[in-house]
């Protein structure tokens, strides 16, 4: 076995050494290290083009009466105030903020529970190994469409249909949750 392996290694080595290798050289007879091909050139060209367009736009844009240096300084001052010096304004009390936080967490829990139960039932019809292929494919197509639309758009659609409030938020977020969990559950069942 060892002798056979060494014979194979010797045969491969002889084949590699006897085959001529072609080394690319440029006009000065130096070996080219990198060959520029389209998949290497295109990203650099696009990057250069987009950078030059951005710089041109920044230099030629009409800012009106805004001084760019002062606006940038004010932006960083506002960021510092927002993130490094948090405090309650006079508009909201701590109790109001905690109540709003509770409503948000409650909406998330209700949405997840409703979406999970409904998605499990839908997944039983979506799994290919326990459902008819036509039904499975139809549900998968609808769920793919629902997943393609962002959650915020579903909430906006239902707020137009139902009106602003928690009901529109629950239905819109549940819609999206059902689509995601149906996919996950059906793949787990399969």
Cβ-proximal residues to 183 (8 Å cutoff; 6+ apart), any chain: 126, 140, 143, 147
In this structure, are residues 125 and 142 in contact, taking their beta carbons and an 8 Å threshold? no
For residue 11, pLDDT beyond 90 = no
For residue 151, pLDDT beyond 60 = yes
pTM: 0.55
Tokens standing for 82? Answer: 């927002």
Indicate the DSSP class of residue 32.
P
Say what the pLDDT of residue 89 is. 72
What is the enclosing helix (H) or strand (E) of 184? helix 166-189
For residue 17, pLDDT beyond 60 = no
In this structure, are residues 183 and 143 in contact, taking their beta carbons and an 8 Å threshold? yes
Across the range 45-66, mean pLDDT stands at: 90
């Amino acid at each position: 076995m060892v002798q056979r392996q060494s014979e194979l290694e010797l045969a491969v080595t002889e084949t590699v050494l006897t085959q001529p290798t072609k080394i690319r050289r440029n006009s000065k007879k130096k070996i080219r290290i990198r060959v520029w091909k389209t998949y290497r050139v295109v990203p650099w060209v696009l990057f250069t083009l987009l950078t030059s367009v951005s710089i041109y736009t920044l230099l030629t844009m009409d800012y009106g009466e805004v001084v760019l240096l002062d606006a940038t300084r004010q932006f960083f001052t506002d960021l510092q105030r927002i993130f490094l010096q948090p405090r309650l304004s006079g508009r909201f009390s701590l109790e109001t903020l905690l109540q709003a936080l509770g409503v948000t967490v409650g909406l998330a829990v209700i949405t997840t529970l409703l979406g999970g139960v409904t998605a499990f039932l839908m997944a039983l019809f979506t799994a290919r190994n326990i459902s008819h292929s036509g039904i499975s494919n139809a549900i998968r197509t609808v769920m793919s469409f629902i997943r393609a639309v962002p959650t915020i758009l579903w909430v906006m659609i239902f707020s137009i249909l139902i009106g602003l409030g928690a009901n529109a938020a629950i239905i819109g977020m549940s819609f999206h949750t059902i689509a995601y969990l149906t996919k996950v559950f059906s793949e787990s069942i399969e």
